[in-house]
Amino acid sequence: MAELEQKAVGKKGKKKKGRKKMSTRIDLTPMVDLGFLLVTFFMLTTTFTKPQTMEINLPVKPKGEVTEEEQNSLKASKALNILLGADNKLYWYRGLPREPIEPLTETNFSADGIRKVLLEKNITVTDMVVLIKPTNDANYKNVVDILDEMNICNIKRYALVDITQDDLNEVKKLNQ
Amino acid sequence: MPKVKIPRKSTLIDMTAMCDVAFLLLTFFMLTTQFKSDESVIVDLPSSISEIKLPDTDILNISVTRDGRVFFSIDNKNYSRERLLNKISEKYPQLQFTAEEEKAFVLTGSIGVPLAQLKGYLDLDETERKLYPQPGIPVDSTNNELGVWVMQGRLSNPNVRITIKGDQECSWPIIKKVMDTLQDKNVNKFNLITDLEADPNKLKGI
């Protein structure tokens, strides 16, 4: 079986007629079994422990004071606002909070919810910018989910923005 | 009629080669495996479709637990942890660490204590340290120690990549505070660690 073994047989070939030799061969099968078992174990543990990461780039914080005008320089008609509320609730509207082009609507994180809206608006609204505004009641999962939704819907222009009091008031009104 | 002798062939297969291969692979995987470090922080990750793998080294990780405690950890490539601790004591002359404390700092995983408690925390022995209720690193605007850690961490390893490992139930304002801290330190590019989720666009393709 083993290379070593064969050589030994070759040398002693002439004496073969003599007494019956005990084989010095070792059955390697269990060793191979064990080897592969461990290989499988290490293979599985290495590939599955590596977590994924999602890269985000935030804008450089502006130095000094920024005027209201500069902040609102984005054209209202291009903006799709997504508000993240408590209990995994999600609202969206287009335009400015007080005079929206499309009114505040509640939706959810499912494929028929916000994704449908995003895909639709991405086609109908040219140069759309999504403004993601998490409220203080939102949790981290909501934010990651909505950022992920941007990747899924292939939306390149989006921003994480602080929520304004107007937005909060509108949400409150809707829930009444 | 001459007898034709057919040499009998053994049905046994030579296992040596297979054995060699198995152990070669085994050695490879054993050497490349990175075992999970002793993580005292339990974080339930959110999932995303992102498929960027997290590198093993040059990572400065900020973990945020469900109850909003913030932990800091950095990998020890090229002794960056030792250098970090030295930099911390340079910045805070009242914090001078002994050789034992330095060793403990290198070996321990995530740090989640305010700087004032750090010395006491490192003086504990290993088992006690695991049980110690770490209150988290302060991230308030008045006392933002996370900023100090991030700053010194980047100084001790300039190639470091910053990651945030937040619990999915963690409330947004705390993550926001962490992100604001990073932005204050001019870190505008960082990674969020997530679990893998199936990409619905790819699923459609199948």
Quote the CA–CA distance of B33 and A46 in Å, as a whole number. 6
Whether residue A9 lies within 8 A of chain B, CB to CB, comes out as no
pLDDT attached to residue B36: 59
Domain count, chain A: 2
Position A155 in a domain = yes
Position A54 in a domain = no
Q: What value does the mean pLDDT take over residues A93-105?
A: 81
| Whether A44 and A81 share a structural domain | no
pLDDT tens digits, one per residue of B21-70? 888 988 888 887 766 555 667 788 888 888 888 887 888 889 999 888 99
CA distances from A166 to A97, A104, B154 (A): 6, 12, 39
Position A129 in a domain = yes
Contact B165, B175 (CB under 8 A): no
Q: Do A60 and B188 touch (CB under 8 A)?
A: yes
pLDDT attached to residue A1: 47
CB-count burial class (<10 Å; 0-12, 13-18, 19+) for A173: exposed
pLDDT attached to residue A43: 79
pLDDT attached to residue B51: 81
Whether residue B11 lies within 8 A of chain A, CB to CB, comes out as no
User: What residue in B sits closest to A40 (Cα-Cα)?
Assistant: B26
What is the overall mean pLDDT for chain B?
84
Question: What residues make up the domain containing A41?
Answer: 3-48
Residue A2 pLDDT > 50, yes or no?
no
| Whether A84 and A39 share a structural domain | no
pLDDT tens digits, one per residue of A46-69? 655 567 788 888 777 766 655 555
CA distances from A45 to B29, B55, B109, B157 (A): 10, 16, 20, 29
Q: For A70-84, A123-137, B55-69, B73-87, which range has the lowest pLDDT when averaged over its residues? A: A70-84
Q: Do B15 and A29 touch (CB under 8 A)?
A: yes
Q: Do B172 and A140 touch (CB under 8 A)?
A: yes
Position A16 in a domain = yes
Q: Do A46 and B33 touch (CB under 8 A)?
A: yes
Position A57 in a domain = no
| Whether A142 and A81 share a structural domain | yes
Q: Which of A31, A40, A38, A34 is nearest to A2 (CA)?
A: A31
pTM given for the model: 0.73
Quote the CA–CA distance of B33 and B106 in Å, as a whole number. 20
Q: What CATH number corresponds to the domain at position A115?
A: 3.30.420.270
Quote the CA–CA distance of B181 and B198 in Å, as a whole number. 32
Whether residue B45 lies within 8 A of chain A, CB to CB, comes out as yes
pLDDT attached to residue A67: 54
Quote the CA–CA distance of A11 and A13 in Å, as a whole number. 5
Q: Do A53 and B194 touch (CB under 8 A)?
A: yes
Q: What is the three-class DSSP state of A144?
A: helix
- Which of A60, A143, A152 is nearest residue B200 as measured by Cβ atoms? A152
How much is the ipTM here? 0.75
Length of chain A equals 176
Q: Do B176 and A138 touch (CB under 8 A)?
A: no
Picking from B10, B36, B66, B172 by the largest number of A CB atoms within 10 A of its own CB, the best residue to mutate is B172
Position A53 in a domain = no
pLDDT attached to residue A66: 55
Residue A98 pLDDT > 80, yes or no?
no
Could you tell me which residue, A91 or B35, shows the higher pLDDT? Answer: A91
